[in-house]
Amino acid sequence: MTATDVDATADDDYDPFEAFNKATGAGTVENPYPDFIALRRDTPVAEMDLREMFGLAEDEVPSNSVWTVNTFDTVQAVLRDGEGFSSKGYEDVMGAVFGHSILEMDEPEHHTYRNLIQQAFTRKAMERWEAEVIGPVVNALIDDFIDDGAADLVRRLTFPFPFEVIADQLVLPEDDKPRFHRMATELISVQVDMERALKASADLHAYFSKIIAERRAAPAQDLVSVLAGAELDGQQLTDDEIIAFLRLLLSAGAETTYRSSSNLLFGLLTHPEQLAAVRDDRSLLAQAIEEALRWEPPLLTIMRTPTREVELGGKTLEAGDTVVINIGAANHDETRWEDAETFDIFRPQIPHIAFASGVHMCLGIHLARMETMVVMNAVLDRLADLRLDPDAEAPYITGMVFRAPPALPVLFG
């Protein structure tokens, strides 16, 4: 199978990376955290005025209320109440792009599906991926720019590496990778270009269907083969269920990993004394990863829908309302973290909520941490005297849904 078999058409003027950044608020919202302070203090659970926020007419406002949940305790209360707060609201938009995936499942369906998928993410599998896939991918990307003495670490490393890792976990042919990366980026750009996202979704369905058929006929150790062979109490994943998970993996796996590693690098590069400390003492790297996830989670908000009338934070939420869970605000809760707005890898480590909580806690949490550990060790080992480029535009983190720096221009060597 070649890239031509998938789709040879391409719009040379279309940059999916830029489109995706635009879709997630890049360049329009640089620092929302000061606004969250008053929300936590005054309205842990706040009803949103959509008319004022978006200039909607009365007949354009949805009949159900929309709420934001803003403190660590109220966020935890929602995420840990799987019966009172449903994930099915995702099926209206994301379901059209990803298919029926674990993102929109409630119990008991979610439990069965998750247990089937987890069979592909064993400790043994992750150890093999680290040695045979992740390390080689990261080092190959660094090889391409290490002699230049300068690079944009987002474009050259943190953005491509998770997609390359997934391509190699699926054992895709080399000729397919450029088109696969493009389809993947177009798929997760659903908020800015639904038409392209739906086309990418259909293209990926056709592409993955061929691969699944091949791996069912001749199983190997790749991710698709393991998913195709997973079984629990006589139940197996259908082709459509596998494809829905693989589509979701491109967003929930590759994209958030790219953003979290980028945010960590931004935090360290803008705090050179902490960068030096981690370079000299790698035992600090694990807590640096957790601090970056707390300080700048890659995904700022997720959504739930009350299944019944619920009292929360002194407010009454009705069945069918929309609840926007503000992970970013929860991770900056001053009642839990001292000087919470500051990036500080030396602060006492207590659990954050960047990977959500409850039954929907991120399935790939251990893989994401391991990927970030590998890429950071490679950067620290191979890019001597790493520092921000003083002649380039100062980097910044931006976005209102997803958060990451659009660029990280650095010098090294």
Which domain CATH number covers 253?
1.10.630.10
Q: Is residue 3 part of a domain?
A: no
| Helix-helix angle 256-269:365-382, to 10 degrees | 40
Q: Tally Cβ neighbours within 10 Å of residue 310.
A: 19
Decide: 404 and 262 in contact? Cβ < 8 Å: yes
* CA 184 to chain centroid: 13
Q: How many domains does the chain have?
A: 1
Task: Read off the tokens for 33.
Answer: 């955290």
Specify the pTM: 0.90
pLDDT attached to residue 1: 32
Beta bridge partners of 402: 299
Q: Is residue 7 part of a domain?
A: no
pLDDT attached to residue 61: 54
Q: Is residue 133 part of a domain?
A: yes
Decide: 407 and 389 in contact? Cβ < 8 Å: no
Binned average pLDDT, 10 residues per bin, the chain of 413 residues = 37 61 59 93 89 53 84 96 94 86 93 93 92 96 98 96 92 88 81 84 94 94 93 93 92 86 98 98 98 96 95 95 96 97 96 93 90 97 98 93 93 96
Task: Read off the tokens for 274.
Answer: 């902490």
Q: Is residue 152 part of a domain?
A: yes
Query: What's at 246, amino acid-wise?
Result: L
Q: Is residue 349 part of a domain?
A: yes
Q: Is residue 10 part of a domain?
A: no
pLDDT attached to residue 53: 52
To the nearest 10°, report the CA torsion of 292, 160, 406, 277. Answer: 30
Domain that holds residue 225: 20-411
Q: Is residue 11 part of a domain?
A: no
Residue 173 CA to residue 177 CA, distance in Å, equals 7
CA dihedral sign, ordered 352, 353, 357, 363: negative
Q: Is residue 384 part of a domain?
A: yes
* Whole-Å CA distances, 282 to 199, 242, 262, 273, 380: 44, 37, 18, 14, 9
